[in-house]
Amino acid sequence: MTARTLRYLVAALGIGILFLACCTQADARSPFWRPRPAPPPYTFSIEDENGNSLVTFVKDGRTLVLGEPGLRYNIRVRNPTGQRVEAVVSVDGRDALSGQPGDYVNQRGYVIPAYGSLLVEGFRRSMEEVAAFRFTIPEDSYSARMGTPQNLGVIGVAFFAERVHSPAPVVRRPRSLPRPAPLPDDDSTDGRGSHDTESDRIAPMKRSAPTAGSPAPASDGRAAAPRSRAEAKDSYKGELGSSGSVNNLGTQFGESHESVVSSVFFERASATHPTLLSTLRYDDA
């Protein structure tokens, strides 16, 4: 056996081993394997009134924010996607828009534009002002005063993606052909030499109203909940849960600040299931 033949045999053996390794690795993966989709990139954080993020800690898989009694804070909600998103914000188990017990199915939220962010500065009192978020002792918190102290120290945001409708097809109405001039004894005219053509009888097209399942602006300035929805098994408070321990801080219904908003139309992709449900907890040192 010559040296050249030996080299050929060694090269062929190496290629065969490499091919066998690739086949073994491919066969180890199930044919039903599918890559898991990445989680939605919506986020929110807690800032002081100067826009500085508060110090956070991680314990037992939970993110905790360090608060101090009397400190005013805001909630910054971010939408880094190319579609609008609705954010239903809950503080200490109370809805930040209505002040009612948190329920992301029946309550509506803030609509954040594509690639935008929103600063929630307090419990909303009206379309023009809010009551500031301030850390306080549990007994003085808004939630405790309203009789729901079990969720003190929990801030939650439910994100709902917007329903995307396929563009409606463009329908071109055929033009009516011109009719010949009437004869003097033609009784199809109205006496003025004109005809009642098809184009004259068609009424102007009207813009269709929202469907029964889509939300419409309510009379109080906020978007109304969808008329048809499946009942949620758990309320927002139940989804967020209790911290299981005594919290040393709550959030006060603070002084009024100007914060002007307006009502817009938004239809959720799912009326009952948020795209992402995110929570954050806070306490003192």
Residue 259 is predicted with a pLDDT of: 94
In a domain, 207, yes or no: no
In a domain, 70, yes or no: yes
In a domain, 89, yes or no: yes
Tell me which residues of the chain have a pLDDT lower than 50: 20-21, 24-27, 186, 188-244
pTM of the model: 0.63
In a domain, 151, yes or no: yes
Residue 141 is predicted with a pLDDT of: 96
In a domain, 19, yes or no: no
Residue-range definition of the domain harbouring residue 124: 43-163+221-283
User: What is the full DSSP assignment across 44-69?
Assistant: EEEEETTSPBPPEEEETTEEEEE--T
In a domain, 214, yes or no: no
Residue 205 is predicted with a pLDDT of: 31
Residue 179 is predicted with a pLDDT of: 56
Residue 218 is predicted with a pLDDT of: 36
Residue 61 is predicted with a pLDDT of: 82
In a domain, 65, yes or no: yes
Report the chain's C-alpha Rg in angstroms.
Answer: 31
In a domain, 171, yes or no: no
> What is the domain count for the chain?
1
Contact by Cβ (8 Å): 148, 259: no
Closest CA to 85 of 127, 117, 37: 117
CA distance 238 to 107: 15
